[in-house]
Each structure stands twice: as structure tokens, then as C-alpha cells.
């Protein structure tokens, strides 16, 4: 059991809050990443440039990682 | 490709462009204005290097937290750096001002779900004013260009564009080319 009795905070009491905070942050981050895909799509249609497809691909990969991290954190924490 | 001042760009097109419409000038905010997101991104990137000593000073040993939690917090930190960098780049790259042989267009993505496009035909443009101000503006020669149309209100404002006086002059040259001397 992990405890740090001499410290200002007790580790065992804050762990559930840290877990909840991490999951909430990663959940909203995943939502935000999906919104960015839509935003980049809109931007790429408004201004068509040579790097528009690259930026769109980057945003899709980023959203995939964001959703993946949320699922991973949900599983291992 | 990543220039803030492009004359006669051939690989750039915009939504609603006519077949006989040609982009004469494409400007976006000066490269140096990106410091407003680059500096916070660097500071957040450095947080994990200083945080353990800072919380230890407060009487809490960060390494008493399980390794998986620390890894998750580290990942969140670097995701934050990534998103600040990506969003900063997107807003800089896609917020552009386009001057074509027919009109002036100001494309503004002000937030994640808000897009604003102002358009003024060259024939309606009455004057274009350039202003340079601030420490960085004077050093790097960037500033604002305000375009006034026949509607007696500032229809288009180009913010932090490089060579503002040159841009204003180019707009008036194009406008006179349509309206006449």
C-alpha cells in the first residue's frame, strides 16, 4: 500500500480524485480533438493550399490518438 | 509555402473563387506574432522538468504516486503542448487576407466553431490606411491595414500583416485599376 504519512497530502486519499480528473480531462480532450477535425475540414475548404490535405490527415491522426489515450487510461487506471 | 506575404500565389485557391479571378496578394499575420502561442507551449513543455522539485518544496513527493498515474499526467501535459501548437498554427495559417483582381477578402476563424468572411469589391474601396505600432511592430515592420468602402464604415481590417504600407498601396493600385485613375 502506497502511503506518504509524513507529507502534506495522503497519497491514497487523492488517488481516486487524480484518476477521475485524468479521465475527465482525456474525455474532453478527445471531444475537442474531434471538433478540430471538423474545424480543419472547414478551413481546408475555405482556403485550398498544398498542405491542406496534410493538415487534415494530421488532425485525424491526432483525434485517433486522443480517443485511444482515453480508452487506454480508462482501461489501465 | 509558410510565408506571410505571397504575391501572385499559384497554388492557393479559396472558396467561391471565380474561374477568371486571380489572387494578386495573399497576406497573413507576421511570423513573429506566433510567439504568442510558441512561448506558452515551451513553458508548458518544461513543466514536467520543474514540477517534482516544486511540489517537493510543498511537502509532497510526486513520485509516491503510482507510475501509471504519473505517465498519464505526463501524456496530458504533452497533449496540451500539442494542441496549443496545432491550434496556433491553424489560426495563423488559415486566417488570411486575399486580394484578387476583383475583390478583397478577409477570412477570420475566430474560434473553433466560428468563421467570418468579409468581402469588398475593389470598385467599392475608397481608401486603405496602414498603421504600424508597438515594439515588435516597429522592429519587424508589421501592422494593421484598414480598408474603407463606400459604405462609410471600415469593412475590412487586416491585422498584423507584414509591410502594411505596401499592402495598402497594392490594394489602392488594384482598386484604381478597376475604377480608373
Measured between CA atoms, the residue of chain A closest to residue B56 is A7
pLDDT, tens digit, for every residue of B1-13?
788 999 999 899 9
Q: Is B21 on the interface with A (CB under 8 A)?
A: no
| Mean pLDDT lowest among A7-21, B35-49, B109-123, B154-168 | A7-21
Q: Does the pLDDT of residue A25 top 60, yes or no?
A: yes
Q: B106 versus B56: which is more confidently predicted?
A: B106
| A17 within some domain | no
The confidence band for B154, taking pLDDT boundaries of 50, 70 and 90, is: low
Q: Does the pLDDT of residue B176 top 80, yes or no?
A: yes
pLDDT, residue B65, reads 80
Q: Is B20 on the interface with A (CB under 8 A)?
A: no
| A31 within some domain | yes
| Whether A32 and B76 lie within 8 Å, measured CB to CB | no
Q: Is A26 on the interface with B (CB under 8 A)?
A: yes
| A7 within some domain | no
CA dihedral A39, A40, A42, A43 (to 10 degrees): 120
Picking from B1, B64, B72, the nearest residue to A50 by CB comes out as B1
| A9 within some domain | no
| A4 within some domain | no
Report the pLDDT averaged over residues A11-32.
90
Report the pLDDT averaged over residues A23-45.
94
The full set of domain ranges for chain B reads 5-29+95-179, 36-89
The overall longest dimension of chain B from CA atoms, in Å, is: 76
| A1 within some domain | no
The pair phi, psi for residue B98, each rounded to 5°, is -120, 130
Q: Does the pLDDT of residue A1 top 60, yes or no?
A: no
Pick the CATH number of B5-29+95-179 from 2.60.40.10, 3.30.70.1710, 2.30.29.30, 3.10.310.10: 2.30.29.30
Q: Is A66 on the interface with B (CB under 8 A)?
A: yes
| Whether A69 and B79 lie within 8 Å, measured CB to CB | yes
* Number of domains comprising chain A: 1
The pair phi, psi for residue B16, each rounded to 5°, is 85, 10
Distance CA A24, CA A45 (A): 32
| Mean pLDDT lowest among A48-57, B120-129, B170-179 | B170-179
Q: Quote the distance between the C-alpha of residue B119 and its chain's center.
A: 18
Distance CA A28, CA A24 (A): 6
Q: B56 versus B43: which is more confidently predicted?
A: B43
Q: Tell me, what's the ipTM?
A: 0.82
The confidence band for A9, taking pLDDT boundaries of 50, 70 and 90, is: low
Range of the domain at A40: 22-76
Distance from CA of A67 to the nearest CA of B (A): 12
Contact list, B69 vs chain A (CB under 8 Å):
15, 18-19, 22, 77
| Mean pLDDT lowest among B5-19, B42-56, B75-89, B148-162 | B148-162
Report the pLDDT averaged over residues A9-30.
87
pLDDT, residue B181, reads 44
Q: Does the pLDDT of residue A27 top 50, yes or no?
A: yes
Rounded to two decimals, the pTM is 0.86
Q: Is A1 on the interface with B (CB under 8 A)?
A: no
pLDDT, tens digit, for every residue of B108-141?
998 877 888 888 888 888 889 999 988 999 999 9
pLDDT, residue B98, reads 95
- DSSP per-residue codes, A20-51: HHHHHHHHHHHHHHHHHHHHHHHHHHHEE-TT
Q: Is B78 on the interface with A (CB under 8 A)?
A: no
Picking from B12, B86, B112, the nearest residue to A62 by CB comes out as B86
Q: Is A10 on the interface with B (CB under 8 A)?
A: no
CB atoms within 10 A of CB B161: 25
Amino acid at each position: 500500500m502506497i502511503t506518504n504519512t509524513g507529507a502534506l497530502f495522503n497519497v491514497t486519499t487523492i488517488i481516486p480524485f487524480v484518476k477521475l480528473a485524468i479521465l475527465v480531462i482525456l474525455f474532453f480532450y478527445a471531444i475537442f480533438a474531434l471538433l478540430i477535425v471538423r474545424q480543419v475540414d472547414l478551413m481546408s475548404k475555405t482556403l485550398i493550399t498544398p498542405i491542406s490535405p496534410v493538415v487534415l490527415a494530421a488532425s485525424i491522426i491526432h483525434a485517433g490518438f486522443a480517443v485511444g489515450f482515453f480508452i487506454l487510461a480508462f482501461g489501465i487506471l | 509555402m509558410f510565408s506571410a506575404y505571397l504575391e501572385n500565389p499559384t497554388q492557393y485557391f479559396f472558396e467561391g473563387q471565380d474561374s477568371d479571378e486571380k489572387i494578386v496578394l495573399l497576406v497573413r499575420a507576421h511570423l513573429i506574432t506566433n510567439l504568442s502561442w510558441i512561448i506558452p507551449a515551451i513553458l508548458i513543455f518544461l513543466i514536467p522538468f520543474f514540477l517534482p522539485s516544486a511540489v517537493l518544496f510543498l511537502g509532497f513527493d510526486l513520485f509516491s504516486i503510482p507510475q501509471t498515474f504519473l505517465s498519464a499526467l505526463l501524456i496530458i501535459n504533452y497533449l496540451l503542448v500539442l494542441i496549443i501548437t496545432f491550434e496556433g498554427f491553424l489560426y495563423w495559417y488559415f486566417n488570411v487576407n486575399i486580394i484578387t483582381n476583383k475583390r478583397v477578402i478577409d477570412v477570420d476563424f475566430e474560434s473553433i466553431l466560428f468563421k467570418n468572411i468579409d468581402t469588398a469589391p475593389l470598385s467599392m474601396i475608397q481608401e486603405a490606411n496602414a498603421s504600424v505600432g508597438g515594439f515588435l511592430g516597429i522592429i519587424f515592420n508589421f501592422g494593421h491595414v484598414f480598408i474603407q468602402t463606400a459604405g462609410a464604415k471600415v469593412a475590412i481590417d487586416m491585422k498584423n500583416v507584414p509591410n502594411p504600407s505596401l499592402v495598402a498601396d497594392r490594394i489602392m493600385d488594384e482598386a484604381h485599376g478597376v475604377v480608373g485613375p
